[in-house]
Structures are given as structure tokens and as C-alpha cells.
């Protein structure tokens, strides 16, 4: 679910402008999972554009407090959401922790890095939601550390049904600054893509694991 439509449209426009999201239906990308995809999203680019990162920081800060109440801690999911999560925590005057994909193999063997007390209210910041599996693994690590997870806020989601099902199973509310639907609407309106390319992108979104395209 998006925080609000105006933010969703503006965020989508920024992501397209800085090429954090690339749309290429005629020459698809290959994801690490092996999926062929007409879209590629790298939200880490946001950190390199001060006006965009400040907008994302401010929208997160405002909408997190509005939707979840002010938490005790902001948590970022490594590695993509560490930078923006820390900016949000700084803006809200809150402590920050981040969550590794798995515990360290040495030292204290931490998975949650930073100071976190049992029972503290935490909002998790994420950069991108695809299936939601890695994001929810971070949530589980925080819960095991004793955190009370109020919800997750992400920059962008592909809107896959499997992600919706995963978050429902985990009993976790997910809100995003923008999503796939708003991205496509804006991309057509601003002529980043043609209506024919829009159809290809919609077909991919319905079945990303099996989708292919003639090139």
C-alpha cells in the first residue's frame, strides 16, 4: 500500500529521472534470481542525488510517524537501505540499527548491528520489495532480538501477489513511497515508454518468473 498518491507519483518521477529505475521491454535485464525482466531498480542511486534523497528522507519521516506513530528505533535492511534508513533516523531524531542478511561468522556474531533493547518499537526501512523474502528475514531477526515491529516502509514495490501474501503471513503492514502501478502510469504520461511497451511491462508483472520476450 502506498502512503499517498501524490508521493507515489513524485517518487516515481524522481526514480525515472535519475535512472534508479530503468525500463527496457525490448532488451530485458536478467535478475540475480535468473528472472528475465523489462525493469531494473537500483534505489541506491538515490543517495548520489541530494534533492532526491532529501525528498525521500522527508517523505519517509513524515509518513512513518503519521502511519505508525513515532517509533523508538529505525532499522535499515542491509545493504540497500542502510544509507536512507540512517538519514530517516537522523531526521526523526531516533536511534538507528541495521540488519545483516545473516549473522556475522566471527566476533559477536551479530545479525542486528547497533544498540537495540527488548520491547522497543521499531519501524523497518527497506529500499525495494520484490517477493519480500529478504525483507521479512530481517524482520524475523529483529523480532528474535526482542523488537516490537510496528511496520515496514519501503521506497518501491513491484506489487507481486507473492509479496502481498508473504507480508500477510508475517502479520506485517507494508507501506511504500511508490509502486509499480504508479510508475507505469507516470512513465506513459511522461513518454518514457509507449503504450505497447506498457502492455509488455504489465504482462511481465502478472507472471515475472515465467515471462519472456522475443528480442
* Residues in the annotated binding site for 5-phospho-alpha-D-ribose 1-diphosphate: 100, 104, 106, 126-134
CA–CA separation, 165 and 26 (whole Å):
30
Q: Could you tell me which of 76, 78, 79, 77 has the C-alpha nearest to residue 87? A: 76
Q: Which residues are annotated as a binding site for orotate?
A: 130
Instruction: Name the DSSP letter for residue 37.
Output: E
Residue 67 CB coordination number (10 Å):
15
Over its C-alpha atoms, the chain yields an Rg (Å, rounded) of 17
Q: What is the 3-state secondary structure (H, E, C) of 162-210?
A: HHHHHHHHCCCCEEEEEEHHHHHHHHHHCCCCCHHHHHHHHHHHHCCCC
Three-state secondary-structure class, residue 103: coil
Known binding positions: 100, 104, 106, 126-134
Nearest to 14 by CA among 59, 56, 60: 56
Residue of 115, 122, 125, 114 whose CA lies nearest to 88: 125
Amino acid at each position: 500500500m502506498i502512503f499517498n498518491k501524490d508521493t507515489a507519483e513524485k517518487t516515481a518521477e524522481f526514480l525515472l529521472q535519475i535512472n534508479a529505475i530503468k525500463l527496457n521491454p525490448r532488451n530485458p535485464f536478467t535478475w540475480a534470481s535468473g528472472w528475465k525482466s523489462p525493469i531494473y531498480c537500483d534505489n541506491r542511486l538515490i543517495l548520489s542525488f541530494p534533492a532526491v534523497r532529501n525528498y525521500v528522507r522527508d517523505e519517509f519521516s513524515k509518513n512513518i510517524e503519521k502511519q505508525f506513530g513515532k517509533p523508538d528505533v529505525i532499522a535499515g535492511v542491509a545493504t540497500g537501505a542502510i544509507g536512507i534508513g540512517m538519514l530517516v533516523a537522523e531526521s526523526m531524531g531516533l536511534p538507528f540499527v541495521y540488519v545483516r542478511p545473516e549473522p556475522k561468522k566471527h566476533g559477536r556474531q551479530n545479525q542486528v548491528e547497533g544498540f537495540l533493547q527488548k520491547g522497543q518499537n521499531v519501524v523497518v526501512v527497506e529500499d525495494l520489495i520484490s517477493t519480500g523474502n529478504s525483507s521479512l528475514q530481517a524482520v524475523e531477526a529483529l523480532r528474535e532480538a526482542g523488537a516490537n515491529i510496528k511496520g515496514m516502509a519501503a521506497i518501491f514495490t513491484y506489487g507481486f501477489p507473492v509479496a502481498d501474501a508473504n507480508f500477510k503471513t508475517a502479520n506485517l503492514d507494508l507501506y511504500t513511497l511508490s509502486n509499480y502501478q504508479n510508475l507505469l502510469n507516470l512513465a506513459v504520461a511522461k513518454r518514457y515508454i509507449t503504450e505497447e511497451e506498457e502492455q509488455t511491462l504489465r504482462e511481465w508483472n502478472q507472471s515475472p518468473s515465467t515471462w519472456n520476450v522475443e528480442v
